[in-house]
Structure 1
Amino acid sequence: MVSLIYKHFASVYDRLMKDVPYDEWAQFLHQAIQRYGNGGNRVLDLACGTGEISYRMAELGYELTGVDLSGEMLAVAQEKMMKKGFDALFIEQDMRELKGYKPFDAVLLNCDSINYLLKEEDVVKTFQAVYDHLNRNGLFLFDAHSVHKMEKIFKHAVFADNDEDVSYIWKCFDGEYPNSVIHELTFFVNNGTDYVRLDEDHYQRTFSISEYRHMLEKCGFTIVDITDGIFQSPDIEQAERIFYIAKKS
């Protein structure tokens, strides 16, 4: 079982993520696909969430399919895509067990979604599933929290925010595995008349650059680039988020 199933989070996710630079993120992915890809435009947005990246990639001319474990998230993504005038397929499925698709030219796994897999065997299983669903010279592009972020920024930290629509308290604790953390989240959501409390626990784990490299190569990928992407840290080992670009030969 994947360590996260969004119960209530879909209803507040976009409001909490409103400061994420999705436009720049989509442009980064687009430029990487144009630079390193095979020229095709079939893209799978894996763990697509509410579709913020999905519809932006559709706007850039890609034929989009979205997969997520949360039906609630997919419903939001589908509505956005329809409002934008795009026809896209969204399917509720575990990213470790992809099946039923024609090969893609690129697979995206954004917003540290890979970090919700706590066991190395599940990461490898996901990488292999992606590899098996790519065309020749297809790209796999994903990002992950750095070890530095897990150990030095998240652990034992408390974050809080208070605004008119959504307020939250976010506490971080040591997880069971190396380089893992438990996010204890409490939201207070304004429903128009009063505030509703929602509670969620999220479990994340990351691996070092060398460990991710080894797992990718184990599945047959060739590493094209490892970068801090749009966030421009002077030292990638100290970057909070690391982007991996791998190719199926």
Structure 2
Amino acid sequence: MPGTAIYTDLSGYYDLMCADIDYSAQSHCVYRLQKLFGNGGNRHLDLACGTGPHVRHFIDAGFESGGLDINQPMLDRAAIRCPEARFTRQDMCGFTVGQRVDLITCFLYSIHYSADIERLKACIAHVCGALATGGLFCFNAVDKHAIDNDSFVSHDASHPDGLFNFSSGWYYPGTGERQLLRLRIEKKTGGDSQRWHDEHPMVAVSFAELSELLRPYFEVHILEHDYEKILPWNGTSGNAIFACVRT
């Protein structure tokens, strides 16, 4: 199943694929970062919002929240989950907002969906243009130099359609600005089994390169990838949370 087929043909299973994600902890961490680094405002936009679970948490925490995604079936589900939110079908590398917001998030390493450096630059510029002064841009990222091509994370999830196993892992060839997100899905129904393999082209950057792209627009804080504690990045771990204040 090539390209982004998993997000269209299997969009109904997306929440199952993300069943092991602690959306509450991730959202609460960003609330704290907004209080620590941001301007105190409550207007929020989630990039690559998917089916809207983070938006739901931000609304419940008192934010005026909305999201954008390139996939309409995802947005249809997000609108059901968050009927009070505004969702738009837009590319995060070329989006517009009617009013500047105070907080922009991009969870689940989705910043890498920019796919190449030029599009990543465009994404950063559009985020800056959409943020109010002192607004905060929060996202998580992986350093291309720390990727273990043999490492996969996996979990099982039950559904009326069958038992699913979801696996994902990064692959970086060692040079260039492109890495892959490799996905494997297995669905078992009775004695039958179906398997899908998917590869998503993602932009590959080091944290040093990413910081340089951000600094013309933001005051950049790199933090450990820990949603329970706010700690400065230790300089060696391959995953980090970026908290970027619009200057």
Matches of 2:4 and 2:181, distance apart in 1: 11
Write out aligned runs for 1:92-103 (5 A).
92-103=89-100
How far did 1:42 drift?
0.4
Counting aligned pairs with the same residue, the percent is 23
Say yes or no: does 1:135 pair with 2:129.
no
The alignment partner of 1:45 has SS state of strand
Matches of 2:245 and 2:172, distance apart in 1: 34
Partner residue in 2 for 1:227:
223
- More moved, 39-48 vs 202-211: 202-211
Write out aligned runs for 1:18-33 (5 A).
18-33=19-34
Matches of 2:153 and 2:28, distance apart in 1: 29
* Paired AA for residue 75 in structure 1: D
Partner residue in 1 for 2:143:
146
How far did 1:24 drift?
1.1
Unaligned runs of 5+ in 1: none
Greater share of helix: 1
The alpha-carbon distance between structure 1 residues 246 and 184, as it changes in their structure 2 partners (threshold 3 A), is closer
Say yes or no: does 1:81 pair with 2:82.
yes
The alpha-carbon distance between structure 1 residues 161 and 19, as it changes in their structure 2 partners (threshold 3 A), is closer
Partner residue in 2 for 1:41:
42
* Paired AA for residue 215 in structure 2: E
Matches of 1:71 and 1:179, distance apart in 2: 28
Size of the aligned set, in residue pairs, is: 238
Partner residue in 2 for 1:166:
164
How far did 1:176 drift?
8.8
Partner residue in 2 for 1:206:
204
How far did 1:16 drift?
2.1
Tell whether the 8 Å contact from 2:93 to 2:114 is kept in structure 1 after alignment. no
TM-score normalized with structure 1 length: 0.82
* Paired AA for residue 143 in structure 2: S
Partner residue in 2 for 1:109:
106
Matches of 1:15 and 1:80, distance apart in 2: 15
How far did 1:9 drift?
4.2
Tell whether the 8 Å contact from 1:148 to 1:239 is kept in structure 2 after alignment. no
- More moved, 24-33 vs 191-200: 191-200
Matches of 1:246 and 1:235, distance apart in 2: 14
Write out aligned runs for 1:171-186 (5 A).
173-175=171-173, 178=176, 180-186=178-184
Matches of 1:171 and 1:190, distance apart in 2: 21
The alpha-carbon distance between structure 1 residues 60 and 208, as it changes in their structure 2 partners (threshold 3 A), is same
